[in-house]
Structure 1
Amino acid sequence: MTGTDTLALDGSRTVASSLEQNGHTYVETRITGSAGLFSCTWKSTSEAHTPTEAKRILPDLCADFIVDSTGKSWLVGPATGADLVSVAAGTTMWGIRINPPALRSLLGTVADAVQDSKIAFDDILTSRQARVLADALSHEAVDAHLLGQLWRGLEPDHGIERGYSALISSPSTPIREIAADLGVSERHFRRSITSAVGLSPKLIQKA
């Protein structure tokens, strides 16, 4: 992923995108039918002959569940700034990108608690969720049915979805005006968006 990729509202790049540069391949595929909880799965591979180097990753508003070919699994929370990530040659990573308004619902805790964090599956998911999701990601077997089994009956907060969409589509509109249009106070809007998405309304607008 690079800073020049085009993002959709849910943080995905395209319906099915593929990027290849300097021995590194990235492929992304949209997920449908996941009740709005997730936007896409992706696979990132560094070729065996490619030297290890730090890559600058720009924030994209999203959090991801990730596993790699060494057996590690973790959640990357929403980022407030760019990060340098080093990936060893020959490493493959598989991920699933969370639709930002669904983050609090999926985790069962305030989303700003995982801001700028990297947390092991076992510390954020139930043992069954951690085991099944890690296995499905590494075997590229994630689909809407599996996700529905892991998060049965769960849906994003539709009020948060409306607020998030308003922020993305109106980056120069004052927060108080967006809140008023949604029929809530500015204080309530700021608090609810931050706890649900993990980022403040102003950071979302700047992305």
Structure 2
Amino acid sequence: MYREWAPDPVLADRLVCVWTRVTASGGTGLVVPDGCVDLVWGPRGPHVAGPDTGPMPVAMSPGDRYTGIRFRPGAVGEALGVPVEALRDLRVPLTDLGGLPGLDAEAVSAAIAAAGTAGDGDVRDVRGVLGAVQESLAVRLRATPGPDPAAPVVAEALRTGRSVGEVARDLGLSERQLHRRCVRAFGYGPKTLQRVVRFQRAVRLARRGAGLAEVALASGYADQSHMSNEVRRLAGVPLRQLVSRP
């Protein structure tokens, strides 16, 4: 079971959603790149899931609960105490990052675990816990430098298939300057960002039932073969297999 909700309106410019997932069966799940950074409470404790550049396997047991807060791509800034590039392709315990002001991470873990014993009615309790986490996060966000305001513009321009050079020129930057700003905002350079946003568009279209050739064209790939190769590099499985997963 996976559920997500809109974040506190005060944080809507920085967060995509808050979410919870309870695994129905054991095995290995795959987390694929989406440009986001998540603050997660899971079986192995509270941690930060950095921006990924490839598939990240996660060992799951039946009944495991994962609960988290998802930052928008490019919107983390310095809220977690380290540059976002230092989190790339990593899962870092929240304690290693100094935690969040006024928040007892272990108490949050206990509250989430307690909510998880209440059956389907626990959703309200989980949302309440996440509300407290968002309040603490808001304090940190006010006290740290914000994200690059150009980040959403850069991501959208690259998603539409424009070259790195064209995007840099439109922003009045050199390609080197654009690369530095992308690394600071997203954790990786513009070419990787373009691969990720193009991949995510392909996933969305495929989930709506579009044919693979149509998906490739609409997502900015040279052809269907190009898309297939890129999807395997980023997700580890073919596109149809990826979107068929619950």
TM-score bin, normalised by smaller chain: 0.7 to 0.9
SS in 2 for 1:158: coil
2:93 is aligned to 120
Where does structure 2 lack aligned partners over 5 or more consecutive residues? 113-125, 197-246
Please name the residue that 1:157 is paired with.
148
Q: How does 1:49-198 map to 2 (within 5 A)?
A: 50=25, 52-68=26-42, 70=43, 72-126=45-99, 128=101, 131=104, 135=108, 138=112, 139-141=126-128, 142-143=130-131, 145-152=135-142, 155-168=146-159, 170=160, 172-198=161-187
Contact kept in structure 1, 2:100 and 2:137, CA below 8 Å? no
Tell me which amino acid in the other structure corresponds to 1:140: R
Aligned length: 177
Mean CA deviation greater in 72-81 or 84-93: 84-93
Residue 13 of structure 2: which of 7, 24, 36 is its match?
Answer: 36
With normalisation by structure 2, the TM-score equals: 0.64
The structure-2 alpha-carbon separation of the partners of 1:128 and 1:149, relative to structure 1 and needing over 3 Å to count, comes to: closer
Is the CA contact (8 Å cut-off) linking 2:37 and 2:50 kept in structure 1? yes
RMSD across aligned positions (CA)? 2.5
Label 1:134 to 1:74 Cα distance change in 2 as closer, same or farther (>3 A). Answer: farther
TM-score (norm 1): 0.75
Q: CA shift at 1:85, angstroms?
A: 1.2
Q: Which amino acid aligns with 2:37?
A: A
Bigger fraction of residues in strand: 1
Which one is further off, 149-158 or 83-92?
Answer: 149-158
- Quickly say closer, same or farther: Cα 1:35–1:27, change in 2 above 3 A: closer
Matched with 1:26 is 2
Secondary structure, aligned partner of 1:94? strand
Higher fraction of helix: 2
Question: In the superposition, relative to structure 1, how do residues 167 and 91 fare at CA in structure 2: closer, same or farther (>3 Å)?
Answer: same
CA distance in 1, matches of 2:92, 2:127: 21
Query: Unpaired segments of 5 or more residues in structure 1?
Result: 1-24
Structure 1 runs (4+) greater than 6 angstroms displaced: none
Whole-angstrom CA distance in 2 between matches of 1:85 and 1:126 = 23
SS in 1 for 2:77: helix
What code does the residue aligned with 1:147 have?
A: L
Q: Quick one: percent identity of the two aligned structures?
A: 26
Q: Go from structure 1 to structure 2 and tell me whether the alpha carbon gap of 1:71 and 1:128 turns closer, same or farther (over 3 Å shift).
A: farther
